[in-house]
Amino acid sequence: MRNVFLFLLLINVLTARFNAQVDLVKPFEDCKIKGSITIYDFKNEKWIFSDSMDSNRPTLPASTFKIINTLIALETGAVSNAEEVIKWPGSTDTLKYGFRPDIYHDMSMKEAFKLSAGWAYVEVAKKIGKERYKKYLKMSRYGNGDLSVNDDDFWNFGNFAISPVNQIEIVRGVYEESLPFKKSSFKALKDMMIDTKTEEYTIRAKTGWTRDKGKDTGWWVGYVERPNNVYFFATRLIKDRKDLNHNFGKCRKEITLKILRELNIL
């Protein structure tokens, strides 16, 4: 069944490219970065790929894991609600996570999601424990389930991995509320995920960026809600850390938004 699914994806990429008549590769070239964008048109049940092989290749999810991590935290009672305050532990590994003094203070889970405060989710992860993570990840069909790294921050370091296609399956599960979590948890998460809200559309999404094994891996994952359709997207950039590119962070969104506009999604 998995092989049949992958075959259909490869067929769809040709159809999607032909119908869209949009150069999905040029925005990556403009940013001087390698990566891919994967889009799923909900109403028309159509996949669009810039690189179908890359869309099925799993890597660390980085902070995009905060999407399902928030659901798991609420479901297990590690936090009672989005407003619960997570206590600042007093220190963090700045060499590992980067120097961000603006996030070094007590904050709610909602604020931690918005600011992508990794330390806060690590503190929550200690309460959840890897066995409960494995249970919910398996039930949700999220990633490869490899939490073997000796680190509570397994989504940024180690062998845990998810593909862009699987990312879209997860955010679709969030939109449809078909993952194994309470409606109240979905409501809290969806409120946290709002990135942009206009009269025409709402973007719910999460960025991610990890530095592991000599690579920078950057993500922007989410979905665009319009009155008549929903479009799910997963953009991933990867580069060697030795190759400097000061636009790496902002290119995650810039590439995605440019392609979404060219496809008349925005």
DSSP 8-state class, residue 84: P
Structure-block tokens of residue 235: 């953009």
Q: Could you tell me which residues come within 8 angstroms of residue 54 by beta carbon, excluding any fewer than 6 positions away?
A: 35, 36, 164, 236
Is 63 an active-site residue?
yes
Options 55, 63, 140, 163, the catalytic residue:
63
- Alpha-carbon gap, residue 126 to 145, rounded angstroms: 17
Q: Which of 247, 252, 173 is nearest to 206 (CA)?
A: 252
CA distance 4 to 1: 5
Q: How many helices (H) and strands (E) does the chain have?
A: 11, 8
Catalytically annotated residues = 63
